[in-house]
Amino acid sequence: MAVKLQTIKEIRNYLNTELSGIYPVPEIRSIGDILIYTVLGINKLHYLTGKEQPLIPDNISRIKMICDELKTGKPIQYILGETLFYNCNIKVDENTLIPRPETEELVDLIIHENPRFSGNILDIGTGSGCIAIALAKNLPEALVTAIDISEKAISKASENARLNNVNILFYEADILRLHSPLLHKTGIIVSNPPYVTISGKRSMNMNVLGFEPHAALFVPDDDPLIFYRAILDAASEILIPGGKLYLEINEDFGKETGELVLSYGYKNVRIVDDINGKNRMIKAVKDA
């Protein structure tokens, strides 16, 4: 018998039933929020105040199809082809990582510590372009440059920059073999590089392992800080004296990453916890 979904409550119950055992309860709730606000097009304020809006049959059918895809483990962001990041609409696909809330915290830290910044910003390993775009939008006087090793990621990031009406210089480049003359002297370097060790795969969800690009996630067990050293090597040439470095990090290597940054002569090196109390960011200032 066909399932009738005529109210938001029925949609919630449907998702709880269909996705139980595949996703944890909080994630099912989050998926429901995304579907209600984006697929159904229901105003968040109206929903929170209890005001019902008519549900369009075509959208109900789409929810059922999306639910079938979710059962395969495919992330909701890839199914919809987009996500929100720091109030920016970001298109995503299998060539780009799905932006995380922790990375929004990194962006927020940069914006609040550098109001009215008007120098150059370099985003290393831009992926979908989410960091670069959010910074360009919120620090409009800055000149933002972004690099990534993946031609397809650069293409998607460029599309996202146009979508969000910001101007960013994108280059296809490998940070492990970076030719610094390609880049401007810069006042801020930011990066969310690959930092999950191969052995760390065991603790990851299948919807990450099965769908997100491994090259943007994993590093060798015997050299987990490989990208941080490369970033610091590049920063030695292109980050101006007094310039700032902001890095997202592996919580398991916070101390080691901090010591690595210190070994390059940086001052004011600080490990910053994310909202869950995990070592997630490092900020530092290049010695003048």
Which residues lie closer than 8 Å to 79 by C-beta, 6 or more apart? 66, 69, 70
Q: Dihedral angle at the C-alpha atoms of 200, 96, 133, 236, nearest 10 degrees?
A: 50
Q: Which residues pair with 266 in a beta bridge?
A: 286
> How far is the C-alpha of 177 from the C-alpha of 206, rounded, in Å?
31
Per-residue pLDDT in tens (0 to 9) along the chain, 288 residues: 456 677 788 888 999 999 998 888 999 998 998 888 888 777 666 666 555 666 777 888 898 999 999 999 899 999 999 999 999 999 999 999 999 999 999 999 999 999 999 999 999 999 999 999 999 999 999 999 999 999 999 999 999 999 999 999 999 999 998 876 668 899 999 999 988 887 776 666 666 666 778 777 788 888 899 999 999 999 999 999 999 999 999 999 999 999 999 999 999 999 999 999 999 999 999 987
Angle ∠(14,16,17) on CA atoms, nearest 5 = 65
- pLDDT at position 91: 97
pTM, to two decimals: 0.90
**pLDDT at residue 173 in the model:** 93
Would you state the pLDDT for residue 53?
62
Q: Which domains, from first to last, does the chain contain?
A: 8-72 (no CATH), 94-286 (3.40.50.150)
